[in-house]
Amino acid sequence: MIAHALAEKGDIGAAAARWQAYLARSWPASTWVPEALRFARALLRHPKEDHAEEAIRLARRVLDEAPGGAGAGEAKEILEQALSTLPFARRKPFLDPGPADLLARARALLASRQDKEALAVTEALIALPEAQAPSAFACDAFAARGEALGRVRRRAEAADIYGTAIERCGPAAPAAAAVASAPAAPATAGAGAPAPRRPETLYNAARASFRVDRHAEAAARFALLEKEYPDHRLADDARYLGARALLALGDQAQFVQMLTAMPDDYPSGDMVADGLFELALFEMERDSWAGAVRPLELGLARFPHERAYHAAGRFPYYLGRAHIETGSPDKGKALLEEVIRDYPLSFYMALAHARLAHADPAAAQRALSAALERDASAPYAELRSPLFARPAFTRAVELARQGEAKLARRELDALGVGSRTAPREVMWASAFLLARAGALPQSYSILRTAMAAPSADDGRVELAGDWVDHYPAGRWRSAWELAYPRPFAALVAAEAKRSGIPEALAYAIMREESAFDPKVASPAQAYGLMQLIVPTAKRMAKPLGLPSSAEALRRPEVNIALGCRYLSVLRGQFSDNPLLAIPAYNAGGGAPKRWIAERPSQSFDLWVERIPYEETRLYTKRVLTSLAVYELLYAGDQPSEALRTPLPASPAARSAVANAAP
């Protein structure tokens, strides 16, 4: 506001200093993009060549760094206007950027998910003379091209280009192992320069090969990474994925050997847990439950309480199953009860409850009730922080009371909320404040970003441990309600009823699809709260007499109606297990049908673990977790689908196989 006032008074120098300091801080795109554009416009209102150049840099930043191309139209206008005011000599560097600038632009476009633009820039990048011989620049240029091709699903081409990237990176430095984990030096255009990002390029190249089922090539690339950089942070990732590539080639012995040795070879590796779990899955899929016990026990001993949503509770859950399958039902039930007690409303807690309820309904109810009673009795604690006395927080409170959620959020971001550097108490208080003001999506956005674990030593706070270890009872309930809100409540209630689906399912899908942002659009042209593409929306809209354009899908009343109807249609296709509508919503209705046909007798838990699309597999776990939460929080008096998942993935398919057996 001060910068705006200074600019209006004509003091552009002082205003520029304010804007530059403001934009140097970490802000959400919704905050920094409008300010960058205002700053650029203000500069152009005071004609000067230096001002025009600064306006060009600001416009370029918006064009390259704003997620999804936000503000691109205005930025292009500013760019053209500013360029037109410069003499040719000063305009030329902006029109014909050098190799380093072009590479930086490609990286910015990739980071902001502007994949088509990145594809065009990287095409020009790899054609430069500087990219034709091994060097750090050439390595990074071809690696960026490979990433861009993968983003637009030209995956076979990506794997090929990554092969060229490996060549352009040149051979590993003699002391590669010693410096593998050191920070990468900036890329230069000089031929023969070292390629500090060679290990990352090898890893991404191998993953690109893996994605297109070129498993021999993937295994060779992963093995090369392990050989050249045994101490690199990605070496254990290469071991894990390399073993999976060899298994896909049928080399079971090498797969088992590599993963069995992984805990000793990489004692601090962050992929060791996944390696042990993959080894256990290999045994369980073969119905060798006795063979699964050892890796599951090792995993539980080394990782006694995993927190990631896709992994929390997996070792005790499957160890419990293994004990039941191998004739130790009491040990197995005790472990299932432990999962119910210690991993509230997680994916594996839902599976544990369903399996225990099938064998002993009273035991499942006792375990859940005891956990709820335990957390209901926790004493309440008042949030305190000296930052609550800061003028910015006071202004945020008053703005929230007036319903000015955006302005309140801006004040909170000044305290470090947006950058996740504010104290934990301020993060929580900010979320509560916006929720009380009725800004449920904005409140949830604070928790959503803070629930992701930060990188080590980056100074950002992480909120997961405050509440996810407790059930939504007593003092903990309000935190769960913030993290799992119910915006657009009247619309969801009406449309869920009309379509005959649970409200909890509509909210679970909406939470994971859009984070409750009605205006969001994905790179795949999916729109709105429930992320519908136009062709699907048209099919759902016709019987309801609703519009289905991209613009219409940004309206909550349209999007929710069509999304609920689509869920109803999908659930009708899987009447024996309506939960299969969840992966179908992500991958299309035909995908789960194919996977059921391939594995008709498989249990639901193992079936989910082996969904071949990683995105759909993780999506299914997230949505089932959210479904369990919404059911318990807001529909506790109704039967739960998430906590009563069918044991087979498809009871009908399993029954058909059994009946066909001789």
- For residues 89 and 105, state if they share a domain: no
- Phi/psi at 488 (5° precision): 55, 40
Structural element, H or E, at residue 555:
none
What is the mean pLDDT of the segment spanning 267-290?
97
User: Could you tell me if residue 7 is inside a domain?
Assistant: yes
Confidence of residue 2 (pLDDT cuts 50, 70, 90): confident
- For residues 70 and 150, state if they share a domain: no
User: Could you tell me if residue 301 is inside a domain?
Assistant: yes
- Helix pair angle (12-23, 29-44), 10° resolution: 160
Of 64, 96, 128, the residue at which a domain comes to its end is: 96
User: Could you tell me if residue 478 is inside a domain?
Assistant: no
- For residues 308 and 428, state if they share a domain: no
User: Could you tell me if residue 186 is inside a domain?
Assistant: no
- For residues 369 and 288, state if they share a domain: yes
Q: Whole-angstrom Cα distance, residue 224 to residue 173?
A: 14
Those residues with Cβ within 8 angstroms of residue 232's Cβ, 6 or more apart along the chain or in another chain: 177, 180, 181, 199, 225
User: Could you tell me if residue 202 is inside a domain?
Assistant: yes
User: Could you tell me if residue 190 is inside a domain?
Assistant: no
- For residues 218 and 273, state if they share a domain: yes
User: Could you tell me if residue 476 is inside a domain?
Assistant: no
Q: The CATH number of the domain where 530 resides is what?
A: 1.10.530.10
List, for residues 96-128, the tens digit of each pLDDT value. Answer: 899 999 999 999 999 998 999 999 999 999 999
User: Could you tell me if residue 355 is inside a domain?
Assistant: yes
In which residue are the tokens 């191309």 written? 69
Q: Whole-angstrom Cα distance, residue 322 to residue 336?
A: 11
Buried residues in 266-287 as b, exposed as e (16+ CB within 10 A) = beebebbbbbbbbbbbbbbeee
Q: Whole-angstrom Cα distance, residue 533 to residue 530?
A: 10
Q: What is the DSSP letter of 648?
A: B
> Among candidates 317, 321, 329, 265, which has minimal Cα distance to 288?
321
Confidence of residue 184 (pLDDT cuts 50, 70, 90): very low
- For residues 353 and 413, state if they share a domain: no
**pLDDT: which is higher, 432 or 643:** 643
List, for residues 540-599, the tens digit of each pLDDT value. Answer: 999 999 999 999 999 999 999 999 999 999 999 999 999 999 999 999 999 999 999 999
- For residues 339 and 395, state if they share a domain: no
- For residues 420 and 497, state if they share a domain: no
- For residues 360 and 401, state if they share a domain: no
- For residues 220 and 342, state if they share a domain: yes
Those residues with Cβ within 8 angstroms of residue 402's Cβ, 6 or more apart along the chain or in another chain: none
- For residues 522 and 623, state if they share a domain: yes
**Structural domain that includes position 593:** 489-659
Q: The CATH number of the domain where 229 resides is what?
A: 1.25.40.10
* Number of domains making up the chain: 5
- For residues 105 and 57, state if they share a domain: no
